[in-house]
Structure 1
Amino acid sequence: MMRPLRALLLGMMLAFAPGLALHAQPVGDATPLQFADSAEEARFRALTAELRCVMCQNQSLADSNAQIAQDMRREVLALMHQGKSDAEVKQFLVDRYGEFVLYRPTVSSHTWLLWFGPGVVLLGGAALLAWIVRRRAAATPARQDGDEGEQEW
């Protein structure tokens, strides 16, 4: 009887081990970012506001508290210290994470749906609404002059 119980306990421990390992990950470098001057800090803030956190998805790199966002901010600052332009920094991150990292991706054949899809859906909805209204207006019988005071329940 003890042997199956031990096997069950061992199985449960192994099942929960990956979850425990996730909580035991070391925290990244907590030292604050060092800027050469206020112009570099302003450029950094503007650049990180235009980039998306790949984990949070709806937060900018500047706003996210995720560990990957901290690492990406350090990478952006390191690239800036290497003398890279904003376009080169963005291209580096696009090469690494894909165009999703940009809040305003470039208009190309594989992003047409992203750029024009909402407008097409809106126009399609307006056309459908107009069609339904016209169809219902044509289907209702015209009122006759004698029926003004009477309603049929």
Structure 2
Amino acid sequence: MRTRIVRIALVAALGGLLLGALPSGAHGATTGALRPRHAMLRATNLSRYNHALHRVWINRDMSQLARKHSLAMANSNTLFHTSDPARFYLKGINWHYWGENVGVTGGTVRDMESAFMASAPHRANILHSTFRHVAIGAVRVDGVLWVTVFFYS
């Protein structure tokens, strides 16, 4: 009886290992696609925390627009700001202030945040005390990370 229980446990453990090695389909692809956005949010909030500022909250719907902007920059291989942010992002939203950071790096999200913090205008957006919300679009194309961070309050 004891040998049978050990054998069943061994088969169950081996089955779990085999199933764990299989690709996870669409869920895995979605998680991977969102990872840079969430990492950028964490990096932004850590920078704010280090300067005694409250965190910003992500607007997921607006982040889809920021992602489209990052993809457009990647497709044209050019950095550029949104031409009319009030119309592009803020239509129907009660807002008072906004700021936009765009960047590109062959490195990590941490590298991008460091570059933003080393640039006075980008740093000012990250550390603007009235900003409460953010939209983040981050895409990696051919190993290059393209980022749009849109702040507003």
Q: Same fold (TM over 0.5)?
A: no
Indicate the structure (1 or 2) with the bigger Cα radius of gyration.
1
Task: Specify which structure has the higher proportion of helix.
Answer: 1
Where relative contact order (Cα < 8 A, 6+ residues apart) is larger, the structure is 2
Task: Specify which structure has the higher proportion of strand.
Answer: 2
